[in-house]
Amino acid sequence: MLLRLASRNLWRNRRRTLLTLSAMVVSLALLTLSLGVFSGMLVDILSSTTEQYHGHLVINAQGYLDDRDMYLNFPSDPELLKRLQQDGEVIGSSERLRGFGLVSHKDRSYPAELLGIRPEMEKTVTKLHSQLIAGTFPSDADPNGAVLGSGLAKKLSVSPGDELVFVTQAADGSIGNDLLIVRAIFSTGHSGHDNSLILVPKAWLQQLMALEGKIHEIALAVRDPLRAAEDAQRLTSQLNDGLKATDWGELLPEMREAIASFDVSRFIFVVILYFATGLGILNTVFMSVMERTREFGILMALGMRPLQIRLIVLLECLLLGLLGTALGLVVGLLLSSYMALVGIDLSGWITPVTYAGGTIQPRLRAIFEQRNFIDPAYMLLLVSLLAGFLPARRAARLQPVAALRED
Amino acid sequence: METLLLAWRNVWRNRRRTLITILAMSFSLMLIQAFHNLSFGVYAQMVDSGVRSGSGHIAVYRGDYALSRDDRLLWVMDEMGVMGVMGNLQTRITALDGVKAVLPRIYLPALAQSSRESRGILLTGIDPIAENGINPLLKQIDAPALIKSLDGRDALVGSRLLSELKLKVGNKFVVTAQGPEGQLVSELLRIRGLVKSGIREVDGSLVMVGRQRAALMTGQSEAIHELAVILENPDLEEKLLPLIGAMLPADSGLNAVSWELAMANLANAIKLDYASQKFIFLIIVLIVTIGVVNTLLMSVMERIREFGVILAVGASPARLRATVMTEALLLGAVSMLFGNLLGALATWYLVEIGIDLRDFIPETMEFGGVVFDPVMRAAWDINYMLQMSAYVLLLSVIASLYPAAKAARIAPAVAMRHH
Amino acid sequence: MPLISLNNLSKIYPLGNQQIVAVQELDLRIEAGEFAVLAGPSGSGKTTVLNIVGALDTPSTGRVRVDGCDYREMKPKALADFRLRRIGFIFQSYNLIPVLTAAENAEFTLMLQGVAPKARRAKISALFAELGIAGLEERRPNDLSGGQQQRVAIARAIAPEPAVILADEPTANLDSHTAEDLLQLMRRLNREKGTTFLFSSHDPLVIAHAERVISLRDGRLENDIRQEIG
C-alpha cells in the first residue's frame, strides 16, 4: 500500500522526476564509463611491463633482481618447470638467460639487453610475438634467430634477414661475440623495450656467455595478475632454497602504488559527482514534499503516523534511486561495451606516455570490471536515500492542523 | 531595474530550493577552479623540472633529432656558419632577453663495463658550470662530487647502474661507444658521484661527463646534439622560439623546437591527464545544468497562474521570457560570486599548504619521464577562473532557455484556471 | 458604435474525444459606461465570454470587436498591448504577484506601459486614497485581507484608464459585507469616471448591483434585462 502510494507520487510531476532521473542516469552511466576507461589504461600500463617483458611474476636466485648479477644464475630444471606448469594459477612459464652488450650491424653499434629464451615457451608468458611489425617469430629450432625492438632496428638500419654481431662479457671473463640473424621486429610503444631489447635463442646465449645449462629467471604468467602477490608467496614456499618468486608489484613498486592510488581517486571522483547529483535529488524531493503539505495533513488527520509519512518519502527516494540505478547501469553498460569493442584511437593526438614505470597507450578502451559498476551503483542508491532523509523528516514533523490550512 | 528587482525577489521565493541550487552550482565551480589550479601548479612544476633536466623550454637540434634521437645528428656550434659579430650561437642566445641559461649537450648510447658486468647506458656530455644549479638531476649532489671540467674523466652515474655494475664512488670503469668510422672507441672514466632521480630509466642508464670528454669519442671535441635553452618564464617560449629560429642559418639543418615537441612524453602525459580531468568537469557541468533546469522549471510551473495574470494585464510573452532568464542569470551570478569565493579559498589553501601524497604514493612517482612531486601545490590561473565564472553565467542562461520558452508559451485563459 | 460587440460567437473545447460547447452563437452589444453582469450557473460560459472579450482566448467562430478593434486582425504582440492599455482585469483571488508590495502590484501595469516611476507613484497614491487603502502601499499581498487585495487589484486595473474593466467573480472569496463595499466602490468609479464594467458572476449581490443582467445558460443567451438601481 505504502509502496503503491510512493510509486504513484513519483509520477505526479512527471517532468521533474524525469529530469532528476536523467541527472542520475547521466552521472552513473558516465561514471561507469570513465572508470572502465581508466581501468583500461591501468591494464595497458600493467601489461606494458608484464606481458611485454617481465611476466606477472619471476623466479630468480635470491638477490638477482637487485643488480642483475650474471653470476646469480641457477641450473635449468625440467622438474621445477613441470611442477610450476601444474600449478592451478600458472598459465605460462618461460626460462630466460639475460645478457648485456653491444650489438652491431655494419658500422652501427648500440648497447642492448638480450633475453635468451625458447620461443614457444616465451609465447606463453609475453605477447611480443603478437606485436611484430616485420618478419615472423622464430621457431624453437632456429639456432640464432633474433627478434628486436623497432627503435633499435631503426638505429641499426636492419630488417629481417640481416646479420647482427653481439659482443659481451662472458662468465669466464672472456669477451664473447657471435652472429645473429634478424627474424622479426616488434613494436610495443614502450620506448625502453623498443630501443634496447633483443630476444635470442636461450642455447645460443648460454654458449656465448659460457653459462651452459644455466638460466637467470623463470618468468610466469598467472590467471589473475592482480593477485600475483599471493601466487608469488605460495610459489616461493615450494621452491628450493636460494630461489624466490617475485610478483610485478614488488618489481615495480611505483606501479603497484599507482594502481592502489586509483582506488583513492575513484572514490574521490564518485563522491564529487554524487554530491552534485545528490543535491539535485534533495531539491526534487523537497519540492514534492512541500507541495503536498496539505495532503500529508489529510493523511495524518486520517490517522497515519509520522513514521509512516517518513517511510513514504524515503520509499519514493528509494524507488527513484532504483530506477536511476537500473537505467544508469544499462546506459553505462552500453557505453562501456562500445568503448570496449570499438574504443577511441588517440595516436593522432598523443604518443605513448610513460607512467609509473609502465606505458599508457594512445587509445581509450574500456574494460569490464565488476567493481566499476557495483560500487557506483550502491553509492547512488545510498545517495538517493540520504537525499530523502531531510525532506522525509520535514514531512513527518508537519502538524496536521497547520498542514490542512495550507493551500 | 524593475525586472531585476522582481526577478531577485522571485529567486528568493523558495529559499531552500534556491540555496540548494546555488550550493550545487558554486560548489561545482569551486571544485573545477581548485582542481584546475592544482593541475596547473603541478604541471608547471613538472614542466619546470622536465625542461631543466631535459630539452630546455626551447631546444636547438640538427635535422629530426627531436624525433629520431639518431646519434649521427651531431653538430659543432662554430662550424655551422652561425658565428656573428656577437660570437657563437650559445653567446647570442644567452644574450636574448628572458633567457636564463643555454646548455650544450651530447648524448651517446654506449656500453659501460666493470670488471664483472656490462650494461647499456646513455653517455651524457654536459657543460658542468652552466648545468650546476639548473639541472635538477644535479641538485642533491654535494658540491665536491660535481664534475668540474669539460674534458675530465670524472663521471656521475645513475644509482641503479652503479649497483648493477658492482661499482662504488671512486671506482673506474670503461665506456665503449661507436667512433666516427664505425670502430669501437673506449674511454676510462672515474665515478665521482651518483645520481638518484627516481626515474627508472635515468637511474639505470645515466652516465654524465664533461661534454668534451664524451665528444672526443666521436672524433670532434666540440660536437653536441642539443642546445637546451632555459627561459626565465615558460610564457616567453612563444616569443623567443621564432627569435632563436631566426638565428639559425637556413642551410645549416638546425632547427629550434619547443619542449612540447622535444619532450613528447611529458607534453603528452600532461595532455592526457588534463583531457581526463576535462571529461570529469564536463560530467559535473552536465549534472549541475540538469539540476538548474529542474529548479527553474519548477519555479515556472508553480507560477503558471501568476504568469497568466501577468499576461492578462498586458505583459507580452517576451517579457515573461526575459523575467525567467533574468532570474536564472541572478541565480548564476550569485553562484558565480560564491563559487569564486570558495574556489579562491580552496586555491589559496592548495597554494600555501598543498596536498601531501606521501602517504599514498612513493616519493619518486614518475609521470611522463619526470618525477612527480608528492607534495602537490596549486598555482593561480586567474584567466581560467574568470573564464569558468563566465561559463557559469552562460550555463545558467542556457539552462533557462527551456523554462523560459515554457513560460512564454503559457495561454493566459488556461493558466488562470490552473491551481 | 458599441464599445463591445460580439457577433455569432461560438467556442468549442476539445475534451478527449468529445467536444464541449462553451458558447454557442452569441450576439451581444455593450455600450461605453455600462455596468453589466454576465450571470448564470457555473459552466454556462460566462468566464469563456469574459476571456474572449479580454483577448485571453480566441473564439472558434464569430467576431469580436472591442473599442473599435477586431481581434482577428491583430498579432499576439498587438493583443498584449491592447490588453495593457484598453482592458483592465480583476479576478477571483490570488491575482496579485506575491513578491511585490501592494503599491508595486498596482503600479505593475503602468510600469509595463513605461510610465516613469515618480508619475506612477503619484497616480497610485491618489488611487489608493480614493479606494480607501491608503497606508497599505508597502504591505505584501499575504498581509492584506481579501477585500484589501481586491482593492489593490482594482487599482491595478483602473490605473491605465482602460476602456473596460472585466471582473471574473470578483466577490467569490469575500464575505458579503466586504463584497457589498467593493461593489459600491466599483459602482462609484463607474458613475464618476464613466469606466465600463463587465462582470461574470452568479453572486446575487453582484446581480443586484448591476444595471444590466445578461443571463447565460449552456453557452446561449437566456435573458438580457436592464434594471434600475437605487
Closest-CA distance of chain B to residue A85, Å: 31
**Which residues in chain C have their CB less than 8 angstroms from residue B13's CB?**
98-99
* Partners of chain C (3+ Cβ pairs below 8 A): B
How many Å separate Cα A240 from the centre of its chain? Answer: 32
- Dihedrals φ, ψ of B314, to 5°? 115, 5
Lowest mean pLDDT across A139-153, B342-356, B357-371, C169-183:
B357-371
Tell if the CB–CB gap between B287 and A68 is shorter than 8 Å: no
For domain C4-96+161-226, which architecture applies? 3-Layer(aba) Sandwich (3.40)
Say if residue B95 is in the same domain as residue B237: yes
Let me know: does B172 contact B190? Beta carbons within 8 Å. yes
According to DSSP, the β-strands at C196-201 and C164-168 are parallel
Does the pLDDT at position B81 exceed 70?
Answer: no
Q: How many domains does chain B have?
A: 2
B309 and B188, same domain (yes or no): no
Q: What is the pLDDT of residues C60-94, one digit of tens each?
A: 999 999 988 888 888 877 888 888 888 888 887 65
Q: Are residues B42 and B62 in the same domain?
A: no
Residues 54-83 of B with CB under 8 A from A: 68, 70-71
What is the pLDDT at residue B418? 60
Backbone angles phi, psi at B142, to 5 degrees: -70, 145
Give pLDDT, residue B21. 87
| Closest Cβ–Cβ partner in C57, C88, C99 for B413 | C57
Q: What is d(CA B317, CA B310) in angstroms, rounded to the nearest whole number?
A: 9
pLDDT of residue C114 exceeding 50: yes
- Residues from chain A that touch B366, judged by Cβ atoms under 8 A, are 254, 354-357
Are residues B66 and B203 both part of a single domain? yes
pLDDT per position as a tens digit, B366-404: 777 777 777 888 999 999 999 999 999 999 999 899 999
Q: Which residue, of B258, B285, B301, is where some domain finishes?
A: B258
| Contact state of A273 with B287 under an 8 Å Cβ cutoff | yes
Among A207-221, B66-80, B216-230, C145-159, which stretch is predicted with the lowest mean pLDDT?
Answer: B66-80
Domain extent, residue B244, equals 56-258
- Of the candidates B313, B316, B411, the beta carbon closest to that of C108 is on B313
B131, B149: one domain: yes
Query: What pLDDT does residue A307 have?
Result: 82
Question: Which range scores top for mean pLDDT: A2-6, A164-168, B64-68, B337-341?
Answer: B337-341
Tell me: the pLDDT tens digits for A115-130?
A: 999 999 999 999 889 8
Percent of chain C with pLDDT over 90: 31
Kindly indicate the confidence band of residue B138, based on its pLDDT and cuts at 50, 70 and 90: confident
The answer to whether B170 faces chain C, any CB pair under 8 Å, is no
Confidence category of residue B5, pLDDT binned at 50, 70, 90: confident
| Domain range summary for chain C, segments of one domain joined by + | 4-96+161-226
Q: Are A38 and A222 in contact (CB under 8 A)?
A: no
Does position B85 have pLDDT exceeding 50, yes or no? no
Average confidence (pLDDT) over B281-288: 87
Return d(Cα C40, Cα C217) in angstroms, integer: 6
Task: Give the model's pLDDT for residue B79.
Answer: 62
SS3 of residue B167 by DSSP: coil
Q: Quick check: A10 pLDDT over 60?
A: yes
Structure confidence at residue C72 (pLDDT) = 85
pLDDT digits (tens, 9 = 90+) for A347-405: 888 788 877 777 888 888 888 888 889 988 999 999 999 988 888 888 888 776 666 66
Residues B279 and B180 in one domain: no
Q: Is 70 exceeded by the pLDDT of residue B39?
A: yes
Q: What is the mean pLDDT of residues B24-44?
A: 90
Same domain, B44 and B68: no
A146 pLDDT exceeds 90?
Answer: yes
User: Per-residue pLDDT for B59 more than 70?
Assistant: yes
The candidate with the shortest Cα–Cα distance to C95, out of A146, A15, B416, B387, is B416
Beta carbons within 8 Å of B99's beta carbon, 6+ residues apart: B93, B229, B230, B231, B232, B240
Report the pLDDT averaged over residues B210-239: 89
Instruction: Check residue C230 and give its pLDDT.
Output: 55
Q: What is the pLDDT of residue A216?
A: 94
Residue A403: predicted pLDDT? 67
Question: B244 pLDDT exceeds 70?
Answer: yes
For residues B43 and B63, state if they share a domain: no
Q: What angle do CA B302, B304, B309 make, to 5 degrees?
A: 135
Mean pLDDT of chain B: 85
Phi and psi for B175 in degrees, rounded to 5? -115, 130
Closest residue in chain C to residue B409, using alpha carbons only: C76
**B153-167: average pLDDT:** 90
Higher-confidence residue of A156 and C57: namely A156
Question: Minimal Cα distance from B265: which residue of A?
Answer: A353
Nearest residue of B to residue A387, measured between CA atoms? B20
What's the pLDDT score for residue A237? 87
Single out the residue in B258, B289, B312 at which a domain terminates: B258
Share of chain A above pLDDT 70, in %: 97
Highest-pLDDT range among A113-122, A167-176, C14-23: A113-122
Cβ-nearest to C89 among B6, B312, B318: B312
Condensed to tens digits (0 to 9), the pLDDT of residues A33-83 reads 988 988 888 888 888 888 888 889 999 998 888 888 888 999 998 888 898
CB nearest A283 (choices: B116, B269, B295): B295
Say what the pLDDT of residue A241 is: 80
Q: Is the pLDDT of residue A407 over 60?
A: no
Q: Are residues B43 and B175 in the same domain?
A: no
Closest CA to B370 of B44, B104, B36: B44
Provide mean pLDDT across the span B117-145.
85
Q: What does the pLDDT read at residue B362?
A: 65
Of B227, B258, B289, the one marking the end of a domain is B258
B285 and B148, same domain (yes or no): no
What would the mean pLDDT of B312-337 be, rounded to a whole number? 89
pLDDT tens per residue across span A208-234: 999 999 999 999 999 888 888 889 998
Which residues lie below 8 Å from residue B144, measured CB to CB, with a gap of 6+?
none
Give the model confidence (pLDDT) of A376-385 as tens digits.
Answer: 899 999 999 9
Regarding whether B228 and B89 lie in a shared domain, the answer is: yes
Q: Are residues B110 and B187 in the same domain?
A: yes
Question: What pLDDT digit, counting tens, does each position of B96-109 carry?
Answer: 888 999 999 999 99
What single string gives the DSSP state of each residue in C19-84? EEEEEEEEEEEE-TT-EEEEE-STTSSHHHHHHHHTTSS--SEEEEEETTEEGGG--HHHHHHHHH
More confident call, B251 vs B216: B216
Confidence at residue B260, expressed as pLDDT on a 0 to 100 scale: 87
Q: Tell me, what's the pLDDT at A48?
A: 81
- Give residue B343's pLDDT band: very low, low, confident or very high (50, 70, 90): very high
Q: Please give the C-alpha separations between residue C102 and each of C121, C128, C205, in angstroms, as whole numbers.
A: 12, 10, 27
Grade residue A284 by pLDDT with cuts at 50, 70 and 90.
confident
